[in-house]
Amino acid sequence: MATVANYANIFVRYDLIGSGAAKGAKVSSKDSAMQKVLQCVLEGDSDNIVDAVNEALATKDPMTVINEGLIKGMNEVSRLWDEGEYYLPQAIVASDAMLKGLDICEKKLGKALEKKGTVITHTAEGDIHDLGQKIVNALLRANGYNVIDLGKDVPVDEVVAAVKEHKPVMVTGTALMTTTMTAFERISKRLVKDNFQVPFVCGGGAVSLEYVTGYDLGVFGKDASEAPGMASDAVNGLNWTQLREKWNS
């Protein structure tokens, strides 16, 4: 009967954190603190990301840490997944580390006191990929918007009901899967039918400009950093066709 000679090998194999999982990574930063943030996301190191982000925040503003550390790291995780280098476990620990880092940056960004308007955000029905939505939430809050965060995997009915109840200046949707993005079109149809002409900004890896501009109300959001500017335009009275013209052409 085969016996295990060295149990340590088993634990090493399944211990992803700090295992050098990020070896194949092609992103780096000349700034040593930012490099640590990148490394923590890539290695899914939730223990050390707090110190790394705080160190980076000592010399950089939260937006830079989000863009140059957290999002850049997560985009590299996406590439490594697509290349077949990373699997579900690595993506899970990387996401957890990124969210922990985002939380610190969000607190540092703070919340503007004066509320400019209400925005409803959600991640599409059937979809649990909510990192993009969480970044959108943080940036909108920091810019003074009252964010009603419906969370992830939100049924179409729930989004429609929330719009009717809260009458937001803008709604956002995030979808990372080709199977879930179709929920956006269903939401749009339901809102139009009931005469709600609210701009519906849709983003996330699965959607494209062509797809989102194929249904009424849809405005394509390429990058989370666009969300506050779009909300500001909506508060200033731009309707969804004008928003589309300004941001999508």
Which residues contact ligand B12 (rule: CB under 6 A)? 71, 74, 77-78, 81-82, 88, 91-92, 95, 126-133, 135-136, 172, 174, 176-179, 201, 203-206, 221, 223-224, 226-227
Residue with tokens 């810019």, as numbered in its chain:
143
| CA nearest neighbour of 106 among 141, 144, 67 | 141
Least spacing, CB of residue 126 vs ligand B12, in Å: 6
Task: State which residue, 169 or 224, has the beta carbon closest to ligand B12.
Answer: 224
Least spacing, CB of residue 2 vs ligand B12, in Å: 31
Structural element, H or E, at residue 223: none
Task: State which residue, 55 or 85, has the beta carbon closest to ligand B12.
Answer: 85
Least spacing, CB of residue 49 vs ligand B12, in Å: 15
Task: State which residue, 32 or 214, has the beta carbon closest to ligand B12.
Answer: 214
- Is residue 246 within 8 A of residue 88, CB to CB? The reply is no
Task: State which residue, 5 or 84, has the beta carbon closest to ligand B12.
Answer: 84
Least spacing, CB of residue 7 vs ligand B12, in Å: 28
Least spacing, CB of residue 194 vs ligand B12, in Å: 22
Give the whole-angstrom CA distance, residue 215 versus residue 36.
Answer: 42
Task: State which residue, 56 or 138, has the beta carbon closest to ligand B12.
Answer: 138
Residue with tokens 């506050």, as numbered in its chain:
228
Measured CA to CA in angstroms, residue 64 lies from 33, 121, 141, 221 at distances of 12, 23, 17, 20
Give the whole-angstrom CA distance, residue 122 versus residue 152.
Answer: 6
